Amino acid sequence: MTHGSTIIVSDAHLGYGPPELAARFHRFLDSVSELGDHLVIAGDLFEFWFEYKSVIPRMAFPTLARLAAVRRNGVRLTVVGGNHDRWGGRFWRDEMDASFYPQGGDVELSGHRCFIAHGDGLSETRRSARAFHRFVRHPVTKWLFRWVHPDVGMAVVRRLSPHLSGKRRSPSDLDRAAQTQQQFAFNILGTRTDIDVVVLAHTHVRVATEFQPGRWFVNPGAWHDGGYYAVLNRDGPTLHRFMESG
């Protein structure tokens, strides 16, 4: 275990894509304790997640079992809600022994004071996308969905998933979103002197840029797009790709 290093991963979108995507992510989780002592999932771990009072989505079980093993190995776990999986709550704290931030927040990582959020709603270039993110965040939406039978709710999500994922955004849309997101991060770093690092995800665009000496904006990129993640230690952030030997 590399003490003092934080592993940051986002946008795995498990449940959308080939089975090998989840299998590779699970192999990554098996190696996390060799990479650092704190794992941060910056949103959209699952293509969809909803926390009912007495059930969890069946497809999530293998990943949750791996995350439980990560905790048993002494790695801290912090989970940030994304636009696909913001509807979590006490399950993460009570069953997974994780810190959970549904909307993001301030957290200390590897000796740095960080602002971390998934980043949805901050860099949307389309009016429909901005409206969707407001809809997902609204507490009434969560309350209403709770009354839908899980099998029905999951079936609806499976129909919508290809249209809600970032895979359909054009390169020009991604570039504009990345520029808007970076400006948002720089505004935080420019106005909040107590923040050393801004961590955002969602755009699927990898970034590790120094705003001022010792202060950075980081986007780890999307695990879904090729196994990307970031590492933050006292010297700052670096970008990585999960490579398996053999």
Considering the domain boundaries, does residue 15 fall inside one? yes
Q: Which has more pLDDT, 105 or 83?
A: 105
For the segment 108-130, what is each residue's pLDDT rounded down to a tens digit?
999 999 999 998 877 555 565 55
Q: Which has more pLDDT, 88 or 131?
A: 88
**Whole-number Å distance between alpha carbons of 103 and 98:** 15
Domain that holds residue 114: 6-241
Considering the domain boundaries, does residue 246 fall inside one? no
Q: How far is CA 122 from CA 173, 194, 199, 202, 245, in A?
A: 14, 21, 13, 10, 38
Mean pLDDT, range 152-157, rounded to an integer? 70
**pLDDT at residue 3 tops 80:** no
Contact 49, 87 (CB under 8 A): yes
Whole-prediction pTM value? 0.87
Number of domains in the chain: 1
Considering the domain boundaries, does residue 164 fall inside one? yes
Considering the domain boundaries, does residue 1 fall inside one? no
Torsion of CA 222, 138, 89, 9, to 10 degrees: 10
What's the pLDDT score for residue 136?
A: 64
> Which CATH number do you get for residue 134?
3.60.21.10
Considering the domain boundaries, does residue 107 fall inside one? yes
